[in-house]
Amino acid sequence: MLIYNTFSRKKEEFEPVNPPAVTMYICGPTVYDYFHIGNARSFIMGDIIRRYLIFRGYRVKFVMNITDIDDKIIKKAAEEKTDTSGIASRFSDAFLHDLEKLKINQADVFPRATEHIEEIIDVIKKIELNGAAYDGLDSIYYDISKFREYGKLSGKKLDELESGARVEVNSAKRDPLDFALWKKAKPGEPSWESPWGPGRPGWHIECSAMSMKHLGESIDIHCGGNDLIFPHHENEIAQSEIATGKKFVKYWLHFGFLNIQEEKMSKSLGNFFTAREILGKYPAEALRLLYLQTHYSGPLSFTEDLLISASKGFERIKNFALLIKENINSSPAYGESRFDFEKYRLKFTEVMDDDFNTPKGLAVFYDFIKDANSFIQNNKPGKEFFREAYELTKAIGETVFGIVHFDEINAKTEAGIESKLIELLIEMRQQAKLDKNYKLADEIRLKLGAIGVTLQDSKEGTTYRITV
């Protein structure tokens, strides 16, 4: 298995420290608002990578942190005239609820920063003991000059980082790139006792301390969005390796940006959809399917048309899964079963072993569904065929991709029938336009609009979105 390591900038053979055990950490949210679908891409792709490692026989311990104390949480609490714990609790619950709705398997541990103050203080003490921390009056800072390899993850030299870094001017720092390990308490802010007086942890130190607590001082995989490479992950490396004297992470995986109209989706730009908003209109499987179509490390330009197309793809997959479920017990004991399931299983493993290539893995899955459907139509398969079809569909579609859920498939769903009826009316409208029966075409469009189905015509054809 090959993994592209951000640290080395090349694909490397995956060799965990203690196989078959794998330790994996992903940066979770700062809980001051609902997370957007750019964040959701990281969470979903991290989930799929974890699922595939388990599929390949590894025992994965997966940790996703929750940052429940931060400047943004303090600001939100002030705006709403409430306390930070209430804000953090409300949006932590929302985060976990939305993860479940997105069919993301629960982490083995969801550590929260406020529950690890003791561990955070211990790591800062080690950094201080090794001469890499200093008192900057308002905070205890990490001195990057003490870590000669600073910049090794981003691949930039110190002078380049300093000139390009988006860091606030702070006269308390010795260097603009020095960062806060412990922020001293300000009036009205939550704080905890420490050797440096009351205060709270800096953002970067939280992940190092929680990772060490639950996975050990050296871990196999650390992942997160591309925007975390610098400064967050760079700082994690610097403080962790000064504290322990050990290599912090063996493989760094980073997820590409989600773009809206060629701009990175972000809350600061205001060009975002929350995962909660999307889940109110589309099935979680459609969003997962959309993300599977692009390699995890590449950029993805999001449009609602792409999500509509993914929804249609999901319906095809779901109908195939239903066909299997309906026939696995009702089909005759004996029948034609000469179908090469192993070919698809081996090809799927081959392409996914190459840096979790989900677009190619999905293509193999679609090929299998197309060929299996053709086999069913042209032969009289028995129970053995449907049993093997079930096992392969469950392995790829459910275990790895999380887009097939046999327990939830009971019959052709109302939503599935609804989409087919809408598509049928769109076909009738297109035929009416070809027949120059524009009155009927307009009537179909208006009546669909009246029940909340908006049609969108383009050069590629007609798509729809449900607005109620």
Q: What kind and span of H or E run contains 433?
A: helix 414-434
Q: Which segment of 88-97, 128-137, 142-151, 450-459 scores lowest on mean pLDDT?
A: 450-459
Number of Cβ within 10 Å of residue 330's Cβ equals 9
How far is residue 354 from each of residues 65, 107, 359, measured CA to CA in Å? 28, 24, 11
What is the Cα–Cα distance from 318 to 63, expressed in whole angstroms? 31
DSSP character string of 338-398: ---HHHHHHHHHHHHTBT--HHHHHHHHHHHHHHHHHHHHHS-B-HHHHHHHHHHHIIIII
Q: What is the pLDDT of residue 455?
A: 84
DSSP 104: P
Reported as type and span, the H/E element at residue 454 is strand 453-458
Q: How many Å apart are CA 125 and CA 20, to the nearest integer?
A: 33
Of the candidates 263, 251, 390, the residue with the CA atom closest to the CA atom of residue 322: 390
DSSP 230-281: IIIIHHHHHHHHHHHSS--EEEEEEEPPEEETTEE--TTTT---BHHHHHTT
- Could you tell me the pTM of the whole model? 0.85
Which of 185, 201, 219, 202 is CA-nearest to residue 24? 219
Q: Give the pLDDT score at 299.
A: 94
Radius of gyration of the chain, Cα coordinates, nearest whole angstrom: 26
Q: Report the pLDDT value the prediction gives residue 269, as an integer from 0 to 100.
A: 67
Which tokens in the block code for residue 19? 């196989």
Binning pLDDT at 50, 70 and 90, where does residue 464 land?
A: confident
* Closest CA relative to residue 346, chosen from 325, 323, 322, 367: 367
Coil, helix or strand at residue 156: coil
Question: What's the pLDDT score for residue 435?
Answer: 87
Q: Is the pLDDT of residue 273 over 90?
A: no
pLDDT for 157: 81
Q: What is the pLDDT of residue 141?
A: 97
β-pair partners for 152: none
Percent of the chain past pLDDT 90, that is, above it, reads 74
For residue 461, pLDDT over 60 is answered with yes
- As to burial, measured by CB atoms within 10 angstroms (0-12 exposed, 13-18 middle, 19+ buried), residue 384 is middle
Q: pLDDT higher for 253 or 267?
A: 253
pLDDT averaged over every residue in the chain: 91
